[in-house]
A and B are shown apart, each in its own frame.
Chain A
Amino acid sequence: MEEFCAKWHDKFLSVLRIMTGLLFLEHGTAKYLGFPHLEKVPNPVSMSGVSGMLELVGGALLVLGLFTRPVAFLLSGNMAVAYFYAHAPRAFFPMLNAGEAAILFCFVFLYIFFAGPGPWSVDAMMRRK
């Protein structure tokens, strides 16, 4: 078990980065490209719309693992703003203000900023060359 973890934990980091990136990208595509179709699409110049642009571009870069650290730092900040701006005014507890995902993404991205993209990423491929 120890051996398996020592060998695989940085690859799981890449998997975590790709999954959170995909979840993020999906919010961006839903807001800007209409896929998947949302009932209510936010205005592109609103807070939520601008954040959609970050989700679209940042999410795609995270999935690829390109410029991971700066992108993760930016998105972490974006999620902190989203939480305090959109969710915190609704209620104190994340369960009631629906801000759980924003909190979790904020800290996952903060961690990725510190830990880097892991081996399955364009960043790592470029470094190897």
Chain B
Amino acid sequence: MNATAIESIWSPRVRSVLRMIAGLLVLQYGTAKLLGWPVVKMFENLPWLSLYGVAGMFELVGGALLVLGLFTRPVAFVLSGEMAAAYFIEHLPRGFFPVLNHGDLAVALCFVFLYLACAGGGPWSLDAMMRKKG
């Protein structure tokens, strides 16, 4: 396998893998906040119509769609915005540096989703399957 094959064939496939992993990480937040699984102390008895609850809805639906690769671009764009909001509302007040305010994940997810919104979900996705069928 030469360098060109890595770039042209495998890089979109690995982008799909990245999309699924990022989607799973976000989905996990959604299920923890709204469905109570996995059990997280902080999210016990969380009302659906609170700031966390609404964020959880985005994460539950958006995360699932990302894992499947359905409507990747708009979904990734919305989640990128959500992560930016999460960073500024939840983490930034705790300190300027991500290493101190624990916002690393939010920043990284924000930029991963921004990139996915632009680059698309790659070949291993429902979007790509539907496109093939025409």
| A residues neighboring B (CB under 8 Å) | 4-5, 8-9, 12-13, 15-16, 19-20, 23, 26-27, 30, 36, 38, 93-96, 100-101, 103-105, 107-108, 110-111, 114-116
Cβ B108 vs Cβ A19 within 8 A: yes
Q: Is the interface of B mostly helix, strand, loop or mixed?
A: helix
Cβ A114 vs Cβ B7 within 8 A: yes
Cβ B6 vs Cβ A20 within 8 A: no
| B residues neighboring A (CB under 8 Å) | 6-7, 10-11, 14-15, 17-18, 21-22, 25, 28-29, 32, 38, 40, 73, 95-100, 104-105, 107-109, 111-112, 114-115, 118-120
Cα A70 to Cα B125 in complex, Å, equals: 28
Cα A4 to Cα B119 in complex, Å, equals: 10
Q: Is the interface of A mostly helix, strand, loop or mixed?
A: helix
Query: Which B residues are CB-close (under 8 A) to A27?
Result: 99
Q: A13-B119, A16-B115, A104-B112 are in contact. List 18 more A-B contacts (CB 8 A).
A: A4-B118, A9-B115, A15-B115, A16-B111, A16-B112, A19-B107, A19-B108, A30-B99, A36-B95, A36-B100, A100-B105, A104-B22, A108-B108, A110-B17, A114-B6, A114-B11, A115-B14, A116-B11
